Amino acid sequence: MTAILSDSGSAWSRTEFEARLREQGKAYHIHHPFNVMLNTGKATPEQIRGWVANRFSYQIAIPVKDAAVMSNCPDREVRRGWIQRILDHDGYELGGVKDEGGIEAWIRLGIACGLTREEITDGRHIIPAVQFAVDAYINFARQRPWQESVCSSLTELFAPEIHKQRLATWPEHYPWIESTGLQYFRNRVTQARRDVEQGLEVTLSYFNTKPLQLRALDILKFKLDVLWAMNDAMATRYGVNT
């Protein structure tokens, strides 16, 4: 899409730039046939278990990716905000406050779907192409300027909707999945919104020339492709019921 946008001329306003970022939502994986199958009740238990087991590789990559962002970021104020993402996923026990974290919640989702803890955590179901997409995201965060990695996290602009869609449809379509197993999605609705506040502010401020703004759109497209490619691999492995 950015190929047809000239990089000449003045930068877009913050409002216009944010609109261009949000416009990329049309390529978000909520629209992927595999996800549509999941959220319209057409998935079999095997396809759901395959999705949870494969998405585990993405979930455990998030705090590793965020630690890479932190290691590249010299700005203490940014790190003070960003570290919350690692705590959200790895969990913590600080000053008497304990939180099992999102990775544990994801394992509980898998158990609620009929997987064993062992087969989730040992990665036996993970498709090579899923792992390649996940590794591309981690390596992007390790190798690129931290501001670019922040920008790549902005697929979460579209995440509250997909989590709310699961919460609205899975109980009806998949009553055999224990409701407590969906806690991860409940947690992410608010966590994603908070993540995006920081991610968007950094992105709108740092990418402040037209060439930089076009670069930001390309970065977001890369991350949208990471999510899309994971769904492609799962569709190939597990099929898509229409």
When asked if residue 159 is in the footprint of ligand AHQ (CB under 6 A), the reply is yes
Q: Can you say how many angstroms the Cα of residue 97 is from the centroid of all Cα atoms in its chain?
A: 26
Q: Which x/- pattern, by CB under 6 A, does the window 63-92 give for ligand AHQ?
A: ------------------------------
The whole-angstrom separation of Cα 3 and Cα 82 is: 32
The answer to whether residue 162 forms part of the interface with ligand AHQ (CB under 6 A) is yes
Among 49, 108, 144, 188, binds ligand AHQ (CB under 6 A): 188
By CB under 6 A, tell whether 156 contacts ligand AHQ. yes
Cα distances from 195 to residues 5, 55, 85, 88, in angstroms, run: 28, 20, 8, 10
Q: What is the DSSP secondary structure assignment for residue 27, as one 8-state letter?
A: G
54: contact with ligand AHQ by CB under 6 A: no
Residue 92 φ/ψ, nearest 5 degrees = -165, 165
Q: For residue 79, which amino acid is it?
A: R
Tokens of 100: 């099992």
Q: Judged by CB under 6 A, which of 24, 47, 57, 153 binds ligand AHQ?
A: 153
Q: Is 155 in the site for ligand AHQ (CB under 6 A)?
A: yes
CA separation for the pair 144, 215 (Å, rounded): 12
- Report in angstroms how near the CB of residue 6 gets to ligand AHQ at its nearest: 29
Residues lying near ligand AHQ in the complex (CB under 6 A) are found at: 62, 153, 155-156, 159, 162, 188
